[in-house]
Structure 1
Amino acid sequence: MTGGATGEADPEIGRSVDAGGVVTNYHDVGQGRPVLLVHGSGPGVSGWANWRLTIRDLSPRFRLLAPDMMGFGHSAHAADGVYTREKWLGQLVGLLDALELDRVDVVGNSFGGSMALALAIHHPDRVRRLVTMGSVGVPFELTAGLDAVWGYRPGIEDMRAIMKIFAYDQSLVGDDLAELRYRASVRPGVQEAYAAMFPAPRQRWVEAMSHTEAEIRAIPHPTLLLHGRDDLVIPLSTSLTLLEWIENSRLHVFGRCGHWTQIERADEFTRLVTDFLGSADPY
């Protein structure tokens, strides 16, 4: 199943599939080797919002799959109101099964980086190569930026403040973007789901999304780590730890870049990911 059918009224609405019991909204765009794109955990986020530039730039070379994770975007919410890494992992595996994909490359942003690592750890045969950017997944002290992101309370000014935390280049945070993400965050049921995911105290959710050192050291897949030097949400130290723990890995750090690597450094991001995923032997 390829192509890129999206709802005309709302570009965030793509296709729908039962992914391990979770009715999942996802985008399926382009041709070539399949690449699973797993978004972050900001308020009002969706697969399309997180990856729209990536989908535009990489779809000529790859088949891109960008789902909304359970509780985000236009995917179903947890019936019991409980969100865990295990449930999200089940959704990803269910998506691959539903689309009859045995093996994919995985690109994970922030929260999505932890989920990409989870897929590589628990289902190594389903992953070919791994890319993380500004990734959660190892222990670190909760930042003020992440605390603000996870503690979002609906409001345009609150949303604008969070968008400014994400971006090093403040010119990227205009009124239109803040309005768009705010509206997405207050669709029926969305904020209720978001508030249930990471309630205070929030250090426990950093730990809940972390993997053990032994699990990460056992990852055999070629891995590309990307991080903005000036990231106020997830510290650069997380990717430095992953670089130390994953034997077959390399790290690219972007100066004058915050948490939006795929947006603030879109051209470089596209080149690095294309070269990494397209090469016969990345290392």
Structure 2
Amino acid sequence: MNPGSHTPEIGRSIVAAGLRTHFHDVGSGAPVLLLHGSGPGVSAWANWRTVLPALAQQRRVLAPDLSGFGFTDRPAGQVYTLDHWVAHAVGFIDALELPQVDLVGNSFGGALALALAIRHPQRVRRLVLMGSVGVPFTLTPGLDAVWGYTPSLDNMRALLDLFAYDRSRVTDELAELRYQASIQPGFQESFSAMFPAPRQRGVDALASAEADIRALTHETLVIHGREDRVIPLSNALTLADWIVNAQLHVFGRCGHWTQIEHSGRFARLVNDFLDESE
């Protein structure tokens, strides 16, 4: 796929923190920044496509491809760290001249959202953490498989089975689309450089300090799928315990794909939370 082609996956681009950054920009009003997860072949569109229309009815929704993912630039030799991803995300909102945004982070994107709110609290109004990394936990076999992906259609199908509670959602068409995305030029090279074995180090490197999380005062919505086999439900319980102004919503009959498996209810929940008066 080429970024010039006319497909829904292709949006706009802007230079952020020195990187030509691909993103989707839909709706109008108060800005909300969506930070995607770290699965192979992921992009902002793949992660958020099912909820973009509903969220954009009430606000301006910005969904970038984070550094190393999607159609954003991949400089040769880039070292991928939490510091780098936070700087890129802040550079993105700076490039759009947004003094403050609401943040919605999915999985890896949740760890990034959490770190951004800790380091730049004035840039964040409200925080939504979904299936989030960012606290200490023992690497799950599911996450080890996701980060250790090597490209093949069978491997992609197996990973998508891990993500979804309802396996009927994992169609041959979806597996083929995600597999093809994962083998575009440069995609696997950057992906495999991010979380090399032993992958517990990747979990630990994305965690913020407990004292810093406890010091957050942002209104925060923590969302998790009860049957998540990639990121443990205990992460959500920890975040809800440590963040003083947190509320927790657990979706039953749901894996790691809350925004896809329960897209309508997810969008209503997030819209209601972001619309609440202080």
Q: TM-score, normalised by structure 1?
A: 0.96
1:7 Cα deviation (Å)?
5.7
Contact 2:132 2:231 in 1 (8 A): yes
The aligned amino acid for 1:72 is F
Query: Which ranges of structure 2 fall in alignment gaps of 5 or more residues?
Result: none
Q: TM-score, normalised by structure 2?
A: 0.97
SS in structure 1 of the partner of residue 50 of structure 2: helix
Cα distance in 2 between the residues matched to 1:127 and 1:72:
23
1:104 is matched with which residue: 101, 105, 117? 101
2:78 is matched with which residue: 75, 78, 81? 81
Spell out, residue by residue over 1:173-219, the C-alpha distance to the aligned partner (whole angstroms, 9 max, x if none): 00110010111100001100000001111000000000000110011
Contact 2:14 2:20 in 1 (8 A): yes
Please tell me whether residue 238 in structure 1 is matched to residue 235 in structure 2. yes
Match of 1:195 in 2: 192
Q: Which moved more, 1:204-213 or 1:52-61?
A: 52-61
SS in structure 2 of the partner of residue 50 of structure 1: helix
Contact 1:217 1:247 in 2 (8 A): yes
Corresponding pairs, count: 276
Spell out, residue by residue over 1:73-117, the C-alpha distance to the aligned partner (whole angstroms, 9 max, x if none): 000114323100111111111111110000000000000000100
SS in structure 2 of the partner of residue 53 of structure 1: coil
Please tell me whether residue 122 in structure 1 is matched to residue 123 in structure 2. no
1:90 is matched with which residue: 84, 87, 91? 87
Cα distance in 2 between the residues matched to 1:83 and 1:26:
19
Cα distance in 2 between the residues matched to 1:78 and 1:108:
24
1:8 Cα deviation (Å)?
5.1
Contact 2:51 2:264 in 1 (8 A): no
SS in structure 1 of the partner of residue 51 of structure 2: helix
The aligned amino acid for 2:262 is R
Query: Percent of aligned positions with the same letter in both sequences?
Result: 62
1:263 is matched with which residue: 260, 265, 274? 260
1:177 is matched with which residue: 174, 179, 185? 174
Match of 1:3 in 2: none
Cα distance in 1 between the residues matched to 2:6 and 2:270:
31
The aligned amino acid for 1:11 is P
Spell out, residue by residue over 1:29-54, the C-alpha distance to the aligned partner (whole angstroms, 9 max, x if none): 00111000000000000001100111
Q: CA RMSD in A?
A: 1.0
Q: Which moved more, 1:13-22 or 1:219-228?
A: 13-22
The aligned amino acid for 2:44 is G
Contact 1:70 1:78 in 2 (8 A): no
Match of 2:129 in 1: 132
